[in-house]
Amino acid sequence: MAWDFPRSLSLAERRARAERERTKLQAKRELRPVRAEGRTIARTFWGRAWCLNLESYSDYASRLPRGRSYLRSGSVLDLQVEPGRVVAQVSGTRLYQASVTVAAIPQRRWSALRRDCAGTIDSLVELLQGHLSGAVMERVCRQQTGLFPSPSEIAFRCSCPDQAAMCKHVAAVLYGIGVRLDQRPELLFELRQVDAKELVAAAADGLPLAVKPLRPGRRLELAGLSEMFGIEIAEADGEPPRTPGNRRSPRGRR
């Protein structure tokens, strides 16, 4: 199939086109658009941790700024998180369908994580709010053995003609997941196909699912996320994130 590549659109044109596409789609069914306000895409522990983990995939550093720009322009018109999969519609020069598949956490890995967290997580609310010690959250977020996917555990596709391993529409969707985790951090557990309550149940029997007063030093501040992932999240379009070298990249399926 021969593709006719239209000219690139300006930010204002992308916003106007996205709004027109959103209005048409909204008339057919309910949409779940993603909106990022201001310079910071994600603001909570889980949202920022997802974005930092994403930016540690250094082979895609050149694509991520375009993804952030598309997200901020309102181009992610619909984003649905399902167990093991995210499906989205992204407005560009045309309306594109994008999907991201994330592998389920292997049972052995999940059992090991539950054992390691035993006695350290007092409540489900504390876990979802990121109100735990740095050591606990580092263990929960770690690639290979924690909740966040490693590059080899992610695959994606997009209906656009871009032949790059990761197109800007997929990059926008990946950042959109971080925004969604700001609103509903439990979706990370759904995406990895595990039950967050099991981490609390593994701590001790009968612990209440309610927030307790935080002890001094309990909360891992957002600033500590950079050290956890060995990277600083870029705040402005065109500003490349500082990434460690020689990281493996996600295996995209086009």
Give the least confident one: 51-65, 194-208, 219-233: 219-233
> Using CA of residue 41, residue 45, residue 50, residue 54, what is the dihedral sign?
positive
- Enumerate the β-bridge partners of residue 78: 89
Which of 99, 78, 229 shows the shortest CA–CA distance to 166? 99
Asked if 51 and 178 touch (Cβ cutoff 8 Å), the reply is: yes
- Looking at this protein, which amino acid is placed at residue 51? C
Ordered by start, the domain boundaries in the chain are 11-222
Per-residue pLDDT tens for 76-90?
999 999 999 999 999
Asked if 204 and 121 touch (Cβ cutoff 8 Å), the reply is: no
Mean pLDDT of the chain: 77
- Enumerate the β-bridge partners of residue 85: 82, 101
Per-residue pLDDT tens for 38-67?
778 888 899 999 999 988 887 778 888 889
Residue count of the chain = 254
Q: Residue 33 contacts by C-beta under 8 Å, 6 or more apart in sequence?
A: 22, 74, 76, 77, 78, 79
Between 224 and 213, residue with greater pLDDT: 224
- Identify how many contiguous H helices and E strands the chain contains and give both numbers: 10, 4
Radius of gyration of the chain (CA): 19
At residue 248 the predicted structure's pLDDT band, cuts being 50, 70 and 90, is very low
